[in-house]
Amino acid sequence: MKTHYYLGWFNNFFPENLGRLLQEDITDRKSLAMISSNPSIYEDDGSTERSWLDQAGIMFDEYHVINYQVNKEDAQTKIQNASVIFLLGGNTLKQNSFLVEYELSDSIKKSSAVVMGASAGAINMSAKWLCSKNLGYNVEISSVYDGIGLDNFSVLSHFDLENNIALVQSELSLLSEEINIYASNKDCAVRVKGDKIDVFGDVFLISHSKIQKLNETL
């Protein structure tokens, strides 16, 4: 049964009940493969995201950061052998380009690993996402990008929804006619396990231009 975690951002650590769920879901702990969102900056080593897992008592025998220091073939092998694949937070566009350039999406989709993404990483796990100036990207023209497509929905992660509900609803209205969008801020998670979707924290569903807050189920 495939398990995917679409995370926001956690200023401290995973809340206790989310950490407990991850403990239960991550049973194979041989190898953690972390995919950089700034693959040219080798200091971007995933230490923050790794600290969340450490705090939850989830440690691995091997840790691998996948960036431009790793060649394409080795990167794909590390993905194929990973127990958990973690797409790191940071620059959504750079990570998206890196996934395309290194042809990692198919390897991730075929993997039986637990796949996690924080912020930018969660966005790139989704089927497609909107890159827009109003959503914090340094672009003039809005574009829809293809993500990995682990699940058939879109994600807006780690965005200040509380103060921008109307803007988010308006900005994502067109895309929401085509595909459901899960929008969340910090300290939130959407978990897909098999055919079941659960939410933790303040998560909103935007569908057919309407927005509703979802009841927490984790």
Note the helical H segments in 59-172.
Answer: 72-81, 92-101, 105-110, 120-125, 165-171
pLDDT at 161: 82
Quote the pTM value.
0.96
pLDDT at 162: 80
Tell whether the model's pLDDT for residue 218 goes beyond 90.
Answer: no
Share of the chain above pLDDT 70, in %: 100
Q: In what order do the strands lie in the sheet with 114-118?
A: 62-66, 31-35, 84-87, 114-118, 3-7, 189-193, 196-200
pLDDT at 119: 96
**pLDDT digit string, tens, across residues 52-102:** 999 999 999 999 999 999 999 999 999 999 999 999 999 999 999 999 999
Q: Are strands 31-35 and 62-66 parallel, antiparallel or unpaired?
A: parallel
pLDDT grade, residue 160 (50/70/90)? confident
pLDDT at 71: 97
Task: Give me the domains of the chain, ranges plus CATH numbers.
Answer: 3-213 (3.40.50.880)
pLDDT grade, residue 122 (50/70/90)? very high
d(CA 141, CA 204): 25
